[in-house]
Structure 1
């Protein structure tokens, strides 16, 4: 796979992901948490969701300090990349779980996390094939030492110095804020459901 092929694949992936997200959001119009919106448990789950989203935003920004502008150009193996080969995807999955939790449902939060992990799993396989061909033995050693997804914190090691591109940091931070757009979405959905405008076809805990 050439760099151009990888770029086209990433573009198709983003389009497919956007379509999937749109379909999920439409489906969520008819799904409601079985926990009362005014109850404590519903509020606790929402609070956890916000916490997960902020972890995701900060984590993705942290990753960009190390990978910004260097992805697919060199092997980055320090900071978050020393404990997992795909920390951006890890934090995005955490953010997806947070988005689902804003619905007040643990089931929806878990479903969002699993769907996000599954979509990224295929992407990582394609990227790994490209990186194997590009970097050869050095990447194979990295691949054998650091887990693909679930972090191994015992492997953590850091750099003494980083070269930072502020624009990449700002862009990643701004992209992460999109997770917070889920809150007004779920509030509107909740209002439409309680007012009877949208029928509730499924209730989940």
Structure 2
């Protein structure tokens, strides 16, 4: 299962980053890559760094399993690993599909001076951050395929990175850029799951 997890992680990187970047470049002439936001050690910067650390841990999880790092025994069972495989595949497909739903607005990172269209259709109709939901699903699946301390720590880091990216980078940028339309949208669309994490109108307009 470690080799399968490593292969799926390669597919995930290829589909979610390389292929999507190429499609964006082909469509718009822009890679969509904006990099890590904020000054060193700011919450925005830490969100980006944590995401990079999570990606590295995503590789090291199956690699350390292959070289003999013991799994957590109560998670190292065929049903759990099979569930992990299913989640990883669903997450990879979901990552690409939700990225495609963003169309020309898709970016990796945020440029505070840039204005892109607010996407509220497709996967974004009921969830504000479906790409991150799909990424978390992928990360959980891969961690369960090789459930050792490195893989599980990587997933925990990914979870923290996504929360930080949304709360201290994405949402403040969208409030500042789109104002009332974003506030209306955030009042009925959940943050990561439909119905959960919706913001009150005043909160969506002013809160951090």
Same fold (TM over 0.5): yes
Residue 61 to residue 146, structure 1, CA distance change in 2 (3 Å): same
Q: What TM-score, normalized by structure 2, do the two folds share?
A: 0.57
Deviates more, 1:69-78 or 1:44-53: 69-78
* Correspondence 1:43 to 2:82: no
Provide the rounded CA distance (Å) in 2 between the counterparts of 1:108 and 1:122. 21
Aligned partner (choices 108, 117, 142) of residue 159 of structure 2: 117
* Correspondence 1:134 to 2:177: yes
| RMSD over equivalenced CA pairs, Å | 3.4
For structure 1, the 5+ residue unaligned runs are 1-5, 154-205
- Structure 1 stretches of 4+ with a deviation exceeding 6 A read 107-110
Residue 88 of structure 1, CA deviation: 0.4
Higher normalized contact order (CA 8 Å, seq sep 6+, divided by chain length): 1
Secondary structure of the residue that 2:117 maps to in structure 1?
A: coil
For structure 2, the 5+ residue unaligned runs are 1-32, 39-44, 107-114, 197-208
Secondary structure of the residue that 1:84 maps to in structure 2?
A: coil
Aligned partner (choices 15, 38, 53) of residue 88 of structure 2: 53
Q: Is the 8 A contact 2:48 2:161 kept in 1?
A: no
Aligned residues: 143
Residue 95 to residue 23, structure 1, CA distance change in 2 (3 Å): closer
Q: What TM-score, normalized by structure 1, do the two folds share?
A: 0.57
State the structure with more CA Rg: 1
Residue 84 of structure 1, CA deviation: 0.9
| Cα offsets for 1:40-66 (capped at 9, x unmatched) | xx2222211110011111111221231
